[in-house]
Structure formats: structure tokens, C-alpha cells
């Protein structure tokens, strides 16, 4: 169903053919993790929700694949943690930006940023550098689902807390993120919403989620989980 939805979104101009390739690559890692939220993913999802709740200016960044796969839960999470939503894409045209922003707003997102960029992310030469000052540029915590590695690195270099949703724990995005979540986007968003609702208004719970958290440790545990799963299958 997800594949069919993405294919439909390509026909409508919201997603791109290269986005389909990216999705297929992610699906391979999902199979290796048993198509479920594994313990290090859940720990990262809790930490990501905590960072968003504690943020001064949290932003959820949306590209074509993210909008196509789960606009509903992106919007729910933004509402839960008080985050702005900004559309930012690699294959940028004014028409495609309007399609994506209108799609998100049509799903109930309210005002979505991105139509009128007035700032640039330092270190990027592609159109992904274009952003809105009150959104991505001035954010202190930013969620980047299904992300481009160059931009995740650039955002981290700006001093932002980058939370990624990328099934590949070895990608540049996962390596650059302070909170690398290796999980399928809908599962990840639902888990983050649940954790945010649980911790909202409870500073001690937020501190607890972040106190011993290590993104590098969770990323390593994800790789270990995949390797152990593969060896277990081999031994059967």
C-alpha cells in the first residue's frame, strides 16, 4: 500500500522517481529489523520527543516522501509538541513546493512554511539551502524524516539538535543526527506522539529521557541487532 501511495504521489508531482529508489533502499533495512520498532529505535523516539518538547523553536521538516507517506502523523506530532512545519526539497520548483505545501495544509496543518524562503543553510549549494528564517534557519531542534545526508550534516554544523528518521543506521543522515531513529516513518511518528503525550508538562520525565541517551550507542545497537538477526537466520 505504501509503494502504491508513493507511485500515485509521483504521478501527482509531489514525490519524485528518485524518492521511490530511496524508499526501496529503506524497505530493505526494515525487513532486516523485522518490520517493527526495535528497542534502540524506541529509545531514540522517546529522546526525540523529549528534545522537541524542550525546544525553544522546534521545526518538523517535510520533503516529498514524508508528505506522501504520512502527512497525518507529521501534523499530529507538530501539534503535540508545538512545532512549525516547513517544506524543504531537493528537486525544487515553485509548482512542486506549492503542491506539497497545499497538500499539508489540506490535511489540516494550518500555515506551512516554505513558500517564501528568506534565508540559506550555510555550506549547501543545492536548492535545499533555501529556507525560512523563522522556521528551519532559527530552529534549535529539527526533525528531518527521510533526509538528505548533506543537509543533515549542514544543520548539525549550525549547532542544531537534528532528529532523523532514516531506516539505514549507516547513512550520513543517521551519523550526523544527535537522535538517529532507524524505524519506518509511520511507526516512528506514532511512537513519538505517544511519548510526547506521556511526557508533556513533565520536566522530570523529559530530563529522564535525555539523561543517559546516546545516539551513537543506539545506532551501534541497531547495527548489532541487524547482524545478530542475520546470524540467527543463517543458523536455522
Structural element, H or E, at residue 61: strand 58-62
Lowest mean pLDDT among 8-17, 28-37, 79-88, 183-192: 8-17
pLDDT digits (tens, 9 = 90+) for 163-214: 999 999 999 999 999 999 999 999 999 999 999 999 999 999 999 999 999 9
Distance of CA 130 to the CA centre of its chain: 18
Q: By residue range, what is the domain housing residue 163?
A: 2-234
Q: How many domains does the chain have?
A: 1
CB 188 within 8 A of CB 35: no
Q: Is the pLDDT at 20 greater than 70, yes or no?
A: no
CB 183 within 8 A of CB 146: no
CATH code: domain of residue 109: 3.40.50.12640
Q: Which pairing describes strands 130-131 and 119-120: parallel, antiparallel, or unpaired? A: antiparallel
Separation CA 58–CA 37 (nearest Å): 24
Number of C-beta neighbours around residue 39 at 10 A = 11
Rg (CA), the chain: 17
Amino acid at each position: 500500500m505504501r509503494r502504491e501511495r508513493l507511485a500515485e504521489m509521483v504521478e501527482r508531482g509531489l514525490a519524485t522517481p528518485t524518492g521511490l529508489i530511496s524508499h526501496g533502499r529503506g524497505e530493505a533495512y526494515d525487513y532486516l529489523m523485522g518490520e517493527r520498532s526495535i528497542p534502540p529505535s524506541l529509545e531514540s523516539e522517546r529522546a526525540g520527543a523529549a528534545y522537541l518538547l524542550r525546544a525553544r523553536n522546534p521545526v518538523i521538516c517535510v520533503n516529498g516522501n514524508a508528505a506522501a507517506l504520512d502527512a497525518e502523523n507529521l501534523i499530529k506530532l507538530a501539534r503535540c509538541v508545538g512545532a512549525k512545519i516547513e517544506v524543504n526539497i531537493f528537486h525544487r520548483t515553485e509548482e512542486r513546493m506549492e503542491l506539497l505545501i497545499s497538500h499539508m495544509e489540506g490535511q489540516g496543518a494550518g500555515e506551512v512554511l516554505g513558500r517564501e524562503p528568506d534565508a540559506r543553510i550555510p555550506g549547501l549549494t543545492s536548492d535545499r539551502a533555501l529556507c525560512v528564517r523563522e522556521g528551519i534557519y532559527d530552529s534549535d531542534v529539527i526533525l528531518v524524516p527521510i533526509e538528505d545526508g548533506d543537509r543533515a550534516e549542514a544543520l548539525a554544523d549550525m549547532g542544531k539538535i537534528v532528529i532523523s528518521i532514516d531506516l539505514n543506521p549507516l547513512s550520513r543522515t543517521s551519523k550526523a543526527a544527535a537522535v538517529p531513529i532507524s524505524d519506518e516513518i509511520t511507526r516512528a511518528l506514532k511512537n513519538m506522539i505517544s511519548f510526547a503525550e506521556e511526557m508533556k508538562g513533565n520536566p522530570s520525565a523529559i530530563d529522564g529521557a535525555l539523561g543517559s541517551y546516546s545516539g551513537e550507542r543506539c545506532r551501534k545497537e541497531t547495527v548489532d541487532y541487524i547482524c545478530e538477526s542475520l546470524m540467527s537466520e543463517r543458523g536455522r
